[in-house]
A and B are shown apart, each in its own frame.
Chain A
Amino acid sequence: GENVEQHPSTLSVQEGDSAVIKCTYSDSASNYFPWYKQELGKRPQLIIDIRSNVGEKKDQRIAVTLNKTAKHFSLHITETQPEDSAVYFCAASPIGNFNKFYFGSGTKLNVKP
């Protein structure tokens, strides 16, 4: 089955700096890659996603890049703010079922004011 690895496990940045989280996946058949933000004790919430026919997608301060050949994708957050502090999860899902996710282990992002 699919195996998603995520790095780093923790990331501390100064407010205003950029943060980058990287994930790799093993199954070349995976074709949908969402990113979820989870605040302590709350539900995961989708913040951005990308399909395998797209190399990059941006939404305000958040961007995701995908390299299908290398089987890795990354989340980029610019101009970080304290409210960006949370755990971020990458995920991959296989062809035919966009909602069966294989999640990475998470990155705890701490944005220091």
Chain B
Amino acid sequence: NAGVMQNPRHLVRRRGQEARLRCSPMKGHSHVYWYRQLPEEGLKFMVYLQKENIIDESGMPKERFSAEFPKEGPSILRIQQVVRGDSAAYFCASSPTVQNTEAFFGQGTRLTVV
């Protein structure tokens, strides 16, 4: 089991471009969570998805951010028209159920907006 895989590990985008961050959960895990970590800060919940469904997006900014977890393939966090304030580390975590208490985090994608 390769663990939670995120790619790319590092992503540089110019202001106004789009950023696509990918997360492949651990095998057998159908629940994916995205978190954002600003420099020198804790992780902030963004969105919780199951296959083909957004369950809780209470932490997502209202504009420019979207997430999906299709039936086939990885979960995608998409940021349109990036701004410098979007520079952060984005982590995803996966679990087999909501009742499983050990969420496994990926290595994160460090987004830098220049």
Q: Which residues of A contact B (CB under 8 A)?
A: 1, 6, 32, 34, 42-46, 49, 51, 89, 96-106
Q: Does B107 contact A (CB under 8 A)?
A: yes
Residues B45 and A97 in contact, CB atoms below 8 Å apart = no
CB closest residue in chain A, given B9: A41
How distant is the Cα of A64 from the Cα of B107 in the complex, in angstroms? 26
Q: Mark B32-55, 1 if CB is under 8 A from A, else 0.
A: 010100000111110010000000
Residues B44 and A99 in contact, CB atoms below 8 Å apart = no
How distant is the Cα of A89 from the Cα of B100 in the complex, in angstroms? 19
- With A43-B91, A43-B106 as given contacts, are A99 and B41 in contact (CB-CB < 8 Å)? no
B-side interface residues, number (CB < 8 Å): 24
Q: Does B102 contact A (CB under 8 A)?
A: yes
Chain A contact residues: helix, strand, loop or mixed: loop
Residues B41 and A105 in contact, CB atoms below 8 Å apart = yes
Residues A100 and B56 in contact, CB atoms below 8 Å apart = yes
Write the nearest CB–CB distance from A41 to chain B, whole angstroms. Answer: 8
CB closest residue in chain A, given B6: A43
Write the nearest CB–CB distance from B97 to chain A, whole angstroms. Answer: 9
Q: Does B1 contact A (CB under 8 A)?
A: no
